[in-house]
Chains A and B, each alone.
Chain A
């Protein structure tokens, strides 16, 4: 677990996704409380996992990990404590693929380097359009469309979760990636949704909550709790306010 968090810190900005699945029956609020109290610096995707199906080899023991490559291939599975160097080497090699692209042909590598390495949808689309009709072009086009849909949906998800700053950042990043491309007007409309009075209020509040979260991650818990109490009082009926109230409840939850 700490090694997974360490890898996440080291590699998430380059594209690594770390998913922590709790396997001993913790409930959602309890898990969240546990994470804040034990691993406050964890920003991994974390979930309860009593009955969750995880498509890597089964294990009767924990910790148990799987490393999945950029193309969805299982590269390694086992006890993460048994092979730290191997895991790190695999991750570094996969992150090179994110940056430089992968695939059987130079064209596939070029498209994927633009798409996943740079988030450059317009560049990826130009490279796809230059390909002759055929299976490769069809598959890469579907990949691009899927990726665009996922990242666009993520903006909405983040906003719904009360993470307005992250949502705005994701929207602006997407706008950069589609500059000059066919999705420009669609993404411009998405970005414009952050320019309303209500959105500005959410963003202003999220800036305050962001500072509090940073304090929590730095283990300045008492200061953070006081600031959170004050924020919640003035939060009104906002998404960020809901998130702040939830955080307050979680921090007050006793870990069982």
Chain B
């Protein structure tokens, strides 16, 4: 039985300049198999995924290589031939279902047209097929549902429509591009299981593109890791996660939060370089602590180090014998100080949006020098609580007390001292910094507003703060659009800490960041919190992350606290069904690897 798809030496470049974006990518997928394609932003993984459909985004051009579907090379076909293949022989499930469905057309029509476009038989009545497709993705199959518009569906439902459209014509290959980004953990779990079932049922090969290793581990038997436009490792998931051969893969795994053990996370210093700025020789060399002279001179070949396990590193054997290092060690958490007045006490908080009550009588205490994690899915009210504490959300009743002193709902009406002592870090690094100000001005702003320091003194403190967050003082003259997401979050942290606050509220501060960057930021926050004795309210939907930074955790569901307690306690022995469900739905490396090795191996494995 031959491979469903076989990619050889794929090369994609920027159309205008010829700069390579993706080079030398080769892999094969068997029918019914799911191959995970992992990489962080800028690695080129989405570009590769699209190339399997013979499509390149604006400004890019597929310059070489072949994509064999069966015996036909997609890349040599003309446009009309490719159009016929798309949706029928190979289909695509996009990342953002909300923007990929046409807002002006009913979903029934959008489903039907993918059948219609590829139906040579000319059959007009697709109702039966459509009903069947809907049942396959666990959606209602009645006509009323099909008459809805995309905005009348939830995110999970929209994504299932996307899956239905992709599987409709029984393709040989499906490319899934991070299809669960932005979905709740529970919905994500459902979508993933649907993908697994359908792929197995129809013997469809699947390429699952993702930056989330935990998810990929749960789904794929084989994984390819991409860095700087090349495949750096390709092999069976369990072997790779147990002991990776490439330094990058190893560090990536070390950066993933775990559910068990108080693990510190280790990020990867430096950042990936954009096409055109990549060095000669191994792309990862500048950031690799195992590099030697030869690494920088020539690009290593992708070579086998084991059956079906290939690595692009000349020191792969050495890498595999390395011990994980700092990653995995328990974190030293100071004991929370219960004797003092709690830094923050929330009593009977009831918050609403308009007439809609979203937080129902929540009570919390944040002890001095403690980090409390607030965990919940979207809509649970965690951000509302955070914003109420900061004075950004005004429609609430109850009391919020800072060091015993009650706070006014609106930040403007609070005293300068109260405003200074509560600082907030936002989720979106691209929106939280004023694009028209330099980094130095941004970090100095609180000093000016609260009158803490001025002139030379202010400059000094800004420089100190930047050093503290591991940004050289030269950053002060740059503008935000010259910084990466991780660097921007560091600036946001510097800004928040420059005035010696007491309480730091971190609102999903790593959700928009790559895994390795997330690790670095979480470690930074953790060490700052411990060194400065801050009380921190850490809001996230990512349960395993909590382990690495917080001492206590409170689980929120639909505006109520469901469970609260010590992190180790809650994660190991959850007492509430909601918490248990949340834990079991969260993909994690440990459980995924255990699952994978229990499944039956496929009929034949393919490698190169």
The answer to whether A and B assemble together is: no
List residues of A whose CB falls within 8 A of some B CB: none
